[in-house]
Each structure stands twice: as C-alpha cells, then as structure tokens.
C-alpha cells in the first residue's frame, strides 16, 4: 500500500539522483525532519546524467522511478538532481499521484543578492542547455550578467572525492575557472546548480580566484519537503536505506562516507 502523507507518523520519502550528489539534499532533509523513513536511490548504472541526450534521460528516469515507486511506495519523492528535474518533472507528475519536489538552479536568489550583478550558474552540460534554465534567467535575472558554465567533469570528480579516489586541485580549478568573470566588475555569486557540487564546496572555496557567495539550494529544498508533510511525528528508527541501480557494493571509503550521511547498512540490489 502507498504510504500516506496524511496519516503516517513516519512517511517514506524517496530521494533520487544519478549518483551521490543527492546526499547533499538528503542531509538537509534528515536534519530538518527526524521522523522520515528516508530511502536514497542512485542511478549509478548510467551516471553521469549530464551527458545524456534529452529523450534518453526522460526515458531512463521515467522507468527507474516507476520501479522505485512500485518498490518503496513513498509518500513523496525528491528528484535531487538538477539535470533530471529541469527535464523530467512534468512526465513524472503526469504518471504518479505522489508529490514530487525537484531541484532547479537557484538563479532567483543569486541574482537578488549579487551586488556586482555578475553571477555564474555552475551546472552539468545538460542543465545549462535546458529551456527551463534559460527561462529562469529571463524571468529572474534580467538585471544580471549570467555566465552558464556546464562542466562535464565536476560531478565525476565529486564522486571520486567521496570515494576517496582523489580529484586533484588542478582538475577542479580548471572546471570552476570559467565561472569567474572580471569585466571591470567581478562575479560575486556562483549557483551550485548540480547537487554533486556541494560535496566539493570546501575545495571550491580554497581554489577560487577570489571569494564569492556559493548558493546551495539544499536547505530550501528540505523546507519545501517539510511543508508538504504532516507535522513532525515520532523519530524514525534505523538507518537510511540506499539503493544503487548498478548493484555494486560500495568500497570501504564510500561505505564510510555513506555512513557519515546516516546510511548503514547499504542495501545494494
Ligand atoms: N547531481 C546531478 C545534478 O544535480 C547531476 C550529475 C550527473 O551528471 O549525473 O544535476
């Protein structure tokens, strides 16, 4: 039976991403609401999503979500992936009766808070080419110069960082460099428009050519999730369960990293 938003003390909430980036959103949700049965699902079999063509991505997310919703019967699902949210939310909402909370580039608050009116959107190549992203810029950033920076490598580098496989300073610095404009006024705000990027935030700060505000929408997404759920009930028991579409068991470094997000033991199916 589908978990019910209205009646369940411990509603099941599914948090979905192509890989490990959605953990940065899961962390905020679990800090805000202790009563949720959280399930983390990563489509690591086809990671990264940022390089997929639109039709292939829609078909893939749609079929994986069908399977996940049938398996876990969540009361609500979070698409903790900008690359997927900016394309697939209408399809998912048309197919399933549960609420979906998406993750889209935080262009509005970034432009509103920028003093130099120079902002960058650091994302995957998929997210930067979306009509959805362009529409956000037109609607909310008409008074800003916006640099759209689509990196094919940062999400894989963030995964390597979390898996303890190493991502060098040189590799990271090269990917973030185009987000820094100096045309007399300097970029002062960078939108982290891929959920993987907050995993590298400390390294971004250390490697940035000058200090900027980094906008991570994860806390706002968690508040949106909480607003759709019944008031806080009894804390949920047990660890967060995790599902990896590849079926591969995580190595020791990743298992330790997952533990730091409250995920243990890992259910790899
Ligand atoms: N975490 C995803 C996002 O927020 C993308 C990573 C990928 O390319 O799969 O866009």
Express each pLDDT in 217-243 by its tens digit. 999 999 999 999 988 778 787 778 899
pLDDT one-digit tens code per residue, 64-113: 999 999 999 999 999 999 999 999 999 999 999 999 999 999 999 999 99
- Integer Cα distance of 11 and 73 in angstroms: 10
Q: Would you say residue 4 has pLDDT above 70?
A: no
Residue nearest to atom 8 of ligand 1 (CA): 50
Task: Say yes or no: CB of residue 83 within 6 Å of ligand 1.
Answer: yes
Q: Residue length, the chain?
A: 269
Domain C-terminal end among 177, 193, 216: 216
What's the gap in Å between 134 CA and the centre of ligand 1? 18
Task: Say yes or no: CB of residue 155 within 6 Å of ligand 1.
Answer: yes
pLDDT of residue 269: 45
Instruction: Specify whether 89 is located in the same domain as 44.
Output: yes
Instruction: Specify whether 116 is located in the same domain as 212.
Output: yes
Looking at 104-197, list the stretches that DSSP marks H as alpha helix, in order from N- to C-terminal side: 107-113, 125-128, 131-140, 154-162, 169-176
Give the number of the atom of ligand 1 that is nearest the alpha carbon of residue 155.
Answer: 6
Instruction: Specify whether 263 is located in the same domain as 138.
Output: no
pTM for the model = 0.94
Q: Give the C-alpha distances (Å, rounded to integers) separating 255 from 129, 133, 268.
A: 34, 34, 11
Instruction: Specify whether 18 is located in the same domain as 151.
Output: no
Task: Say yes or no: CB of residue 124 within 6 Å of ligand 1.
Answer: yes
Q: Give the C-alpha distances (Å, rounded to integers) separating 235 from 8, 59, 113, 239.
A: 12, 36, 36, 11
Look at the chain and report how many structural domains it folds into.
2
Contact yes or no for 16/62 (Cβ under 8 A): no
Instruction: Specify whether 122 is located in the same domain as 153.
Output: yes
Instruction: Specify whether 196 is located in the same domain as 122.
Output: yes
pLDDT one-digit tens code per residue, 103-146: 999 999 999 999 999 999 999 999 999 999 999 999 999 999 99
194 is a catalytic site residue: yes
What domain range is 188 assigned to? 107-216
Check residues 50 and 22 and name the one with the higher pLDDT. 22
Q: Where are the beta strands (DSSP E) in the chain?
A: 12-17, 37-42, 76-79, 100-101, 118-123, 145-150, 189-192, 213-215, 241-244
Instruction: Specify whether 255 is located in the same domain as 209.
Output: no
Domain C-terminal end among 172, 201, 216: 216
Domain C-terminal end among 185, 201, 216: 216
């Amino acid at each position: 039976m589908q978990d019910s938003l209205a009646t369940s003390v411990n509603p099941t909430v599914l948090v979905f991403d192509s890989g490990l980036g959605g953990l940065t959103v899961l962390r905020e949700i679990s800090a805000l609401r202790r009563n949720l049965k959280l399930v983390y699902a990563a489509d690591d079999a086809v990671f990264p999503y940022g390089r997929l063509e639109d039709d292939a991505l829609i078909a893939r997310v749609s079929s994986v979500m069908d399977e996940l919703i049938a398996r876990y019967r969540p009361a609500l699902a979070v698409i903790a992936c900008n690359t997927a949210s900016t394309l697939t939310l209408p399809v998912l909402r048309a197919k399933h009766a549960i609420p979906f909370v998406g993750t889209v580039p935080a262009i509005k608050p970034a432009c509103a808070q920028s003093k130099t009116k120079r902002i960058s959107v650091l994302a995957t190549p998929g997210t930067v080419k979306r009509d959805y992203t362009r529409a956000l810029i037109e609607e909310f950033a008409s008074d800003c110069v916006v640099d759209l920076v689509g990196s094919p490598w940062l999400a894989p580098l963030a995964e390597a960082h979390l898996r303890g496989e190493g991502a060098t300073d040189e590799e990271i610095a090269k990917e973030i460099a185009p987000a820094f404009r100096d045309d007399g006024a300097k970029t002062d705000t960078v939108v982290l428009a891929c959920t993987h990027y907050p995993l590298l935030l400390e390294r971004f700060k250390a490697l940035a050519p000058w200090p900027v505000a980094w906008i991570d929408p994860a806390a706002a997404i968690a508040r949106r999730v909480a607003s759709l759920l019944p008031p806080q009930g009894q804390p949920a028991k047990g660890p967060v369960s995790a599902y990896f579409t590849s079926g591969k068991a995580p190595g020791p470094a990743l298992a330790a990293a997952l533990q730091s997000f409250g995920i243990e033991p890992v259910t790899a199916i």
